[in-house]
Amino acid sequence: MYKHLFKRYAYDRRNQKAANSIITVFLIILILVNMVFGISAYRKLTYKYFYSGIYVDGIKISGMARDTAKKRLQEEFAKSYNSRIILLKYNEKSWPLPLEGINYLFDFEATLDYAYKIGREGGIIHRLKTILRINKKPVNLIVSAKYDTDKLAEKLDTIKKEIDFLGISSTYNYNCGKINYTKAVEGRNLDIDLNRKLVDSYLLNRNFKDINLIVQPVKPQITTEDVKEIKDVLAVYTTNFNANNYSRAYNIKLACKKINNYLVLPGEEFSMDLALGPRTTAHGFMEAPIIMKSTVVRGTGGGVCQVTSTLYNTVLLSMLKVTGRVNHSIALNYVPLGQDATISEGYIDFKFKNNRDYTICIATEAGEGNVTVKIIGRKRNDDPSVKLRPVIVEEYAPPYPEYIVDESLSDAQVVIRTKEKKGFKVVLYRDTYNSQGSLIDTEKISQDIYKPVRGVLAVNRKVFKALKK
């Protein structure tokens, strides 16, 4: 029995020794493997060159030092991109854009910085995984480019000056019922910002083909469509003047000429002050009687108020929207009460807005002793007929006349230097009638007050003293 136990014990000891030997060998192998892996990992983690599997624009830079890789890239890029010229084109014209002229450069530094970071960021395990991954599945980086945007803008600005064209507005001439107009010419505009973005997309994507610039059409201020349908007289108004008063008659004709065939676009506001321009002798106007502070005095441009008042009545009859109008301080003799409009340069203006959906034309005629203003447009079938109706609601008697001394007069002579005038409060109505002649609307246009004018009588000193007693 003891013999049997001894044999079994000896067998177990042999097996234990064998197992220990196997474990020892395994541990030695494991240590050796770890040493090999550690050395390999250390070498990879402390590698000074670009890792395997890294390409830039298809050029392999794996295993290269940074300076070597940069030199290689510069050599390869010089073969493909050195002395490149892009043509900027519009229609049949073209403008060369040399890359060197805008300091176009490839940013090798930034690309190589990024390439060198691959496999060098994150923890040890993450870095090793990245290194193994790109070794199996290489990465290809694209070199970015940069250029001087200011130089490109300067180039486009030069081209813009050659391309840009404001266009030519259509002209319109209405002369005693005869109509002539010229066709408009479309303009061109090169938007620098828009085209800079276009060129930018080409350059940064290294597309060096010819670039067709974006040129936008510019609609002329007045198109052919604006004027070709202007043919109907919407309203007409005439006032009379003394043709023997040469300077005033001259100013009236000059003012008519300045606003004749004046086009007012839909929604546009017309300003008589701007249309006439400065009323100075340098601009052709003469001295003539004007009203200042209820007194008639001489001033440059006298007579333009009559043209303004004539236009005002035509505008009212055309049903256009009056946006600015001031009546004279005293009653006039060339238009009914409430139907006048004064103007004073830079101070008082007459304005109206074209509230029609088409362009209208102001046409004027100044003959010997009369001035006529017409509004030309397009008549509609439902346009009403219009009448202006001033109503005097109050009258104001003039003050007692003023006497002044004139030694040249006899006792029996009295000379009127200023004729006295009544004052009035007037309301102007505009009545509209349908095609059957029935009144369809009455609109209150304005309420004006005209001051009475004190008369001035000249007598000799003897009579003057007698009147003062």
Element (H, E) at 292: strand 287-292
pLDDT of residue 175: 84
SS3 243: coil
Side chain identity, residue 149:
T
**Distance between CA 315 and CA 270 in Å, rounded?**
11
pLDDT of residue 206: 84
- Can you give the residue ranges of every domain in the chain? 1-39, 229-382, 384-469
pLDDT of residue 260: 94
pLDDT of residue 208: 87
Side chain identity, residue 336:
P
State which residues of the chain have pLDDT below 70: 1-15, 17-42, 44, 82, 289, 291-299, 301, 469
pLDDT of residue 26: 63
Model confidence, pTM = 0.69
125-158: b or e for each residue (b if 16 or more CB lie within 10 Å)?
Answer: eebbebbeebeeeeeebebeeebeeeebbebbee
* 178-198 pLDDT tens trace: 888 889 999 999 999 999 999
pLDDT of residue 105: 86
pLDDT of residue 256: 95
pLDDT of residue 412: 86
Q: Are strands 262-264 and 385-396 parallel, antiparallel or unpaired?
A: unpaired
SS3 197: helix
pLDDT of residue 348: 93
Rg (C-alpha) for the chain, rounded Å, is 48
Phi, then psi, of 437 in degrees rounded to 5: 85, 10
pLDDT of residue 31: 59
pLDDT of residue 253: 94
Going 275 to 278 to 282 to 284, the CA torsion angle's sign is positive
pLDDT of residue 7: 58
SS3 379: coil
pLDDT of residue 204: 83
Any idea which fold 384-469 has? Resuscitation-promoting factor rpfb fold (2.20.230)
pLDDT of residue 145: 84
**Distance between CA 399 and CA 457 in Å, rounded?**
13
**Distance between CA 118 and CA 73 in Å, rounded?**
18
**Distance between CA 128 and CA 135 in Å, rounded?**
11
pLDDT of residue 297: 61
pLDDT of residue 302: 81
